[in-house]
Amino acid sequence: MTPILRLREVSKAYGPTVALDRVSIDFAPNEVHAVLGENGAGKSTLMNIIAGFVAPDSGEGTLRDLPLPFGRPFEARRRGIAMVHQHFALVPAFSAAENLSLANLRSPWQTHRPVRDAGHSLALAEQLGWKVEPDRLTQDLPVGVQQRLEILKALSSDAEVVIFDEPTAVLTPDEVEDLFRVIRELKDRGRTIILIAHKLSEVMAIADRVTVLRRGAFVATAPITDVDADQLATWMVGEVPGTRTPVSASFEPGLRVTDLHVRGSRGEHAVRGVSFAIGKGEILGIGGVDGNGQVELAEALARVRPTAAGSIYLTGCDLEEANLAYIPQDRQSDGLALSMSIRDNLLITGHRRRELTRGPFLRRRAIERWTGDLVDRFQIKVGSVRDPVSSLSGGNQQKVVVARSLDQIPDLLIAVNPTRGLDVRATDYVHSQIVAAADAGAVVALFSTDRDELAALAHRTVFLSRGQLTDHLVGGDA
């Protein structure tokens, strides 16, 4: 089949960091083409080049034998390329309808009527079974709903090439299947679908062809029928991490939550009368469809959101003085100061370490050693720790948040989708660090929309629905 999109010898570097090194790939119509690789392998850079957001240093690209408009995103969209971004390209202060309508503006002189202009996207949301409140501010929406808005924006166009950059990271299995149904329909209509994903089970389920990148270089391309998940993992990281099954055990008293009520950003009752206990050394999994109170509960446990009623008690120490570690689900909005350096982001909590200070002053050499150790331990791919954290790939940004949180063993660890956007090896490493924290006596509350993650790590799993706890499952039964 004649390719619709061709890339030849495409290279891109950011200072000393080579993001892409002479990559050549063909993409065919009527095909779902998955692009895989470790965090920092160059996948998002390649997609941003195709979509016109980034101009390569060298190389060529064609869409139906016409040169790609490198560095011109509006022209790329006009030519038929749409992208669902890994990091949301939404205006937080706009309503859902206003954000959706922006994708349908054809002229700066067009009269702007958000609900009318967003009509096609809202109809598509209903078709998918997604509840979208048109008048609700985007900044007040759960991250999973924001992700759906990004998907709806891209699907509202008549693009020939649709790029999905980690679209399923915060979706439940049922929502993923709905999305895959739409992707299959688009493929059947002749669209070219390019999918970046880290969950190999999803790639095996939806892709027709797969290409693997490693450290910015092309490794292999193959029909999905010619490979299996182990082969893909080996191409990506060189080894296949082993599986982990939590072992049932008895635990000393740790965290006790009693009749907890928490309000959401609009004053609604997001968490309603929740009670549970987590022992020292225990990992409690908290699952459910995103938007049912998980974020509000996590923020209340982390002491960054006030409680309306109820109590939170941590055995053996004052909760206000306890060593709390919090991994929020939205790394860019809640976990990082994007304009600051990688080092300064690590120091947000690290500055309290005694060995890094002398009186009121920071010890520069000690900090350099400490940040270098964290970068090595958590395999964060950086040019320099003085670079802005915004220069990192999404997965490496997540590693900064995780490294900062798990540098020391906390009394209480609250982790919300901690491996979102991470590759196979990085996911396995973060899982091992969470388990190590629990083995050292930490109380762990693991919020995750990934059932496999809950089954692999949690000793027990409960589920939140409309702000209340439902099922109680043990270990792999989750």
Same fold, 5-237 and 252-477: yes
What kind and span of H or E run contains 422?
none
pLDDT digits (tens, 9 = 90+) for 165-214: 888 766 667 778 878 888 898 898 888 999 998 788 889 999 999 999 98
**Taking the domain 5-237, which CATH number applies?**
3.40.50.300
Concatenating the DSSP letter of every residue in 283-336 gives EEEEE-STTSSHHHHHHHHTTSS--SEEEEEETTS-TTTS-EEEE-S-IIIII-
CA distance 210 to 266: 43
pLDDT digits (tens, 9 = 90+) for 210-252: 999 988 899 999 999 999 988 888 888 766 555 556 666 688 9
Give the residues of the chain that fall short of pLDDT 70: 1, 104-113, 115, 169-172, 238-249, 471-478
> Please, are residues 169 and 417 in contact by the beta-carbon 8 Å criterion?
yes
CA distance 172 to 176: 6
Nearest to 166 by CA among 202, 140, 142, 138: 202
Per residue in 425-464, is it b (16+ CB within 10 Å) or e — as a string? bbbbbbbebbbebbeebbbbbbbbbbeebbbbbbbbbbbb
Three-class secondary structure of residue 405 per DSSP: helix
pLDDT at 475: 52
Nearest to 363 by CA among 380, 376, 374, 350: 350
The distance in angstroms from the start CA to the end CA of the chain is 43
DSSP state of 477: G
pLDDT digits (tens, 9 = 90+) for 67-102: 999 999 989 988 889 998 877 888 889 999 888 888
Domain boundaries, the chain: 5-237, 252-477
Specify the CATH superfamily of domain 252-477: P-loop containing nucleotide triphosphate hydrolases (3.40.50.300)
Query: pTM for this structure?
Result: 0.64
pLDDT at 478: 47
